[in-house]
Amino acid sequence: MSGNRAVVYVEPGKVEVSDISYPELILRDGPGVNPLNVGRKCEHGVILKVITTNICGSDQHMVRGRTTAPSGLVLGHEITGEVIEVGRDVEYIKKGDLVSVPFNIACGRCRNCKERNTHVCENVNPDRAGSAYGYVDMGGWVGGQSEYVMVPYADFQLLKFPDKEKAMEKILDLTMLSDIFPTGFHGAFSAGVKPGSTVYVAGAGPVGLAAAHSAQLLGAAVVIVGDLNAERLAQARSFGCETVNLREHPNLGEQIDQILGEPEVDCAVDCVGFEAHGHGNAHGEAPATVLNSIMEVTRAGGRLGIPGLYVTGDPGAVDEDAKIGTLKIRLGLGWAKAHTFVTGQTPVMQYNRYLMTSILNGRAQIAKAVNATKISLDQAPAAYAEFDRGASKKFVIDPHGSVK
């Protein structure tokens, strides 16, 4: 085989489907590849035929031009695929296996990996701990919105589905295991959601919807989702969430009081991140809005899960401080209320096996919750544009027409 096609970032607001190199078990030079990673041998890796790969809100940040992503970067960190080639050092993963790929790239050998902190692996990104496929400043590992992709450290990282035929029947759910479902679950879990909790989820995009569904799985009594987008809030209501339209009702505490009889929740999850906007009709971008508002409405002693993306470099930010990730956060408020903050990438491998079992046994309905919508590879540019306009869909790319 020699051909491969992929979704490539071109410039702010533009992606295209391009011909790229067929993957090898070595990391070659290319857009975004860290010079210290060029030529890195990966005989511990595999080549996958991509079965499904999803468009993520994190991809959208790059496509909007809100990061330092270079032109030509192959996008995509949510990957599910069939193994078609294995490296000589791979022992347990076999050709023909259907697997989910955690978006965190992790070696399994460093201290952090051994302590299950695979989101901050020390050996895969020369710039800092932590890496991901097809993402800016993450080491340059080639993205998976493509027909074929290379995945390193296969024995350690890959989650094999036990029954390939049954897995394909639920592939629109299982494709969410690479990122969005563990990320939403991590947000709810790290916020301390438990049976009987009242929970506020900021953001009704796919991660927010995944966090809301996860909170329900964890036993929350009431899950309230807030957003400025009426279509996305309708999707949250479709599986039993209460909602707050912050465009129409800018006072979050008052709206929570109307739902719960008090203006506070037990815990909250930020699923918006650094492109947050203020509340109300005349809202503008205000990147600290969500963090400050969830501190206001979370009870003293509560916990805040923050899977929403925050970056150290944002060329499109509203001020010079925000361009380097310095935001006007009311830390004094969080300190006074003794809040616990949990931030950073999600350590997918802590959750994906359990969530897989929940899907296969009918407990989790994540594809329904996030409105999974299958598209072809060639439809990806249009889907990026639709997603950017606020569509309440989780786009799932099917590069080979494998999904019934």
- Which of these three, 304, 320, 343, is where a domain ends? 343
**Both 309 and 367 in a single domain?**
no
- 52 within domain boundaries: yes
Query: Does residue 386 sit in the same domain as residue 314?
Result: no
What was the pLDDT predicted at 227? 96
- Give the span between the Cα atoms of 154 and 89, in whole angstroms: 9
CATH number of the domain encompassing residue 97: 3.90.180.10
The answer to whether residues 128 and 218 belong to one domain is: no
101 residue type, one letter: V
User: Could you tell me if residue 118 is inside a domain?
Assistant: yes
Q: Domain residues for 226?
A: 180-343
Return averaged pLDDT per consecutive 10 residues of the chain, 404 residues in all. 89 96 96 95 98 95 92 97 98 98 97 97 96 95 98 98 97 98 98 98 97 98 97 98 96 97 98 91 86 97 95 86 90 97 96 98 97 98 95 97 94
Residue 60 in any domain: the answer is: yes
Q: Which amino acid is at 203?
A: G
Same domain? For 335 and 288 the reply is yes
Q: Are residues 17 and 153 in the same domain?
A: yes
Sign of CA dihedral 232, 234, 240, 241: positive
Q: What does the pLDDT read at residue 283?
A: 77
Same domain, 156 and 265: no
User: Has residue 45 been placed in a domain?
Assistant: yes
Same domain, 169 and 188: no
What distance in Å separates the CA atoms of residue 322 and residue 103, rounded to the nearest whole number?
26
Note whether residue 156 is domain-resident. Answer: yes
Residues 108, 173: one domain? Answer: yes
- Asked if residue 188 belongs to a domain, the reply is yes
Asked if residue 185 and residue 172 are part of one domain, the reply reads no
Determine the pLDDT at residue 313.
84
In a domain, 404, yes or no: no
Is residue 10 classed as helix, strand or coil in its secondary structure?
A: strand
Inter-residue contact 246 to 228 (CB < 8 Å) = yes
Say if residue 171 is in the same domain as residue 207. no
The two beta strands, 14-19 and 5-11, are antiparallel
* pLDDT in the model for residue 285: 87
Query: Is position 224 within any domain?
Result: yes
Phi, psi torsion values for 15, nearest 5 degrees? -125, 160
Domain of 302, CATH number, reads 3.40.50.720
Q: Cβ contacts of residue 225 below 8 Å, gap of 6+?
A: 200, 201, 203, 204, 208, 209, 212, 233, 236, 241, 242, 243, 244
- Count up the domains in the chain and report the number: 2
**316 shares a domain with 390:** no
Q: From CA 122, how far away is CA 259, in angstroms rounded?
A: 45
Which pLDDT score, from 0 to 100, does residue 71 have? 96
Residues 186 and 170 in one domain: no
From 297, 322, 343, the end of a domain falls on 343
pTM (whole model) above 0.75? yes
Quote the CA–CA distance of 129 and 117 in Å, as a whole number: 10
Within 103-250, residue ranges assigned H as helices are: 111-114, 154-157, 164-169, 171-174, 180-190, 206-217, 230-237
